[in-house]
Amino acid sequence: MRVIDSHAHVDEYEAFGWFDPPEVLIGLLDEAGIEQAVVMTYADAPVLKPDALRYLHDACKKYPTRLIPYARINPHAANAAALLEEAIVDLGMKGLKIHQESVTAAAHHDSVVRLVKKAAEFDAPALFHSGDEPLSLPWQFAGLAERVPQATIILAHMGGYHHTEDAISLCERYENLLLDTSACPYPREIKRAIERLGAHRVLFGSDGPGCNPRLELRKISRLGLSEGERRLVLHDNIASLLERVRHEAPRGPR
C-alpha cells in the first residue's frame, strides 16, 4: 500500500539541537517503506530562521519525488502573508505549518487567523501543533475553526498526552478540522478517533525523523483497520488535500 507521511521535518537548527538534513529522513522513509513525506523546518521563517523557506525548498529539490514542503511561518511577522504567498506560488509549497509554542501565539490569535485565511485562498492546508502546552490546547482552535470555516486545519499529535479527548470532541464539532497521528502515544485513541470521526478525518504522520517513521507506521498497523480505512489514513486523505492546492495568486479583492 502506498504511504504518504503527512508530517515530518527537514532542518538543521542549532538552537533546538536538532540536525536533520533531508538525507536523514529519506533513509528512515526507505527503511519504513514510505513513498513520500510532507516536510517542514523546525524553525519558523522569518524570525528564527530568515532563510528557512529557501533551505526547505533546496532540500526538497534534492528529492523532488519524495519530499513535499509546507511553509513554517511566524504569523506575527509583518510579511507573513507575503511569505506564504511566495512559498506557495513561487516555491511550489503545499501548505502552512504553525507551531504556537514556537511563535508565542494561540490558534485564535488575529495574526494566526489572517495567515490561515491566506492559506485558504490557495486551498492549502494549515497544520498546527496541538498538545498539552498552554498555547496548543485543542479547544483553543475553536475560534480559528469558526472564523475560517473555509480552511482545512490539521491538529498534529491529536492533542498530545492528556488532551486527545478534547481534540476528538473538537473535531466532532468543527468539520474543517482533521487530526494527524504523529507521536500520539496511544494507539487506542487513534482507533477511537477513526470510529467517532471517520477514517477520512485522520491522517498518518510520523513527526520524523526524531520520531521513527517505521515505529509510527507500526502504530497504525496495530489498529485493526479495514483495507479502505488504512488507505484513507495512510495515503488518500493527504493526497487529496495536496492535489487541491492551487499555485496561482488569487484574483480579485483580497
- Which spans of this chain sit near other proteins (rule: CB under 8 A)? 16-18, 99, 101-102, 129, 131-133, 136, 157, 160-161, 183, 185-188, 207, 209-212, 214-215, 218-219, 222
Task: Tell me how far, at minimum, the Cβ of 66 lies from other proteins, in Å.
Answer: 20
Nearest to other proteins of 88, 190 (CB atom): 190
- Closest CB 164 distance from other proteins, rounded Å: 11
Neighbours of 214 (CB within 10 A): 15
Is the Cβ of residue 200 or residue 212 nearer to other proteins in the bound state?
212
Q: Which is nearer to other proteins, 120 or 233 (CB)?
A: 233
Least Å from the CB of residue 76 to other proteins: 18
In whole angstroms, how far apart are CA 152 and each of 28, 75, 130, 198? 28, 17, 15, 16
Spatial distance between the Cα atoms of 175 and 191, rounded to a whole number of angstroms: 18
* Residue 87: closest CA among 71, 74, 63: 71
- The nearest distance, CB 254 to other proteins, in angstroms, is 33
CB of 18 to other proteins, least distance (A): 8
Q: Select from 5, 48, 1 the least CA-distant residue to 242.
A: 5
Nearest CA to 127 out of 181, 56, 77, 163 is that of 181
Q: Cβ contacts of residue 175 below 8 Å, gap of 6+?
A: none
Q: Give the nearer residue to other proteins in terms of CB position, either 36 or 102.
A: 102
Contact 16, 42 (CB under 8 A): yes
Measured from the CB of residue 246, what is the shortest distance to other proteins in angstroms?
Answer: 31
- Across 86-158, the runs of DSSP E, i.e. the strands, are 95-98, 126-128, 153-155
Cβ proximity to other proteins: between 117 and 214 the closer is: 214
Indicate the residue among 19 and 110 with the shorter CB distance to other proteins: 19
Instruction: Tell me the residue type at 197.
Output: L
> Cβ closer to other proteins: 9 or 118?
9
Alpha-carbon gap, residue 127 to 11, rounded angstroms? 17
Provide, rounded to whole angstroms, the least separation between the CB of residue 228 and other proteins. 23
User: Looking at the DSSP assignment, which residues form a beta bridge with residue 127?
Assistant: 97, 154
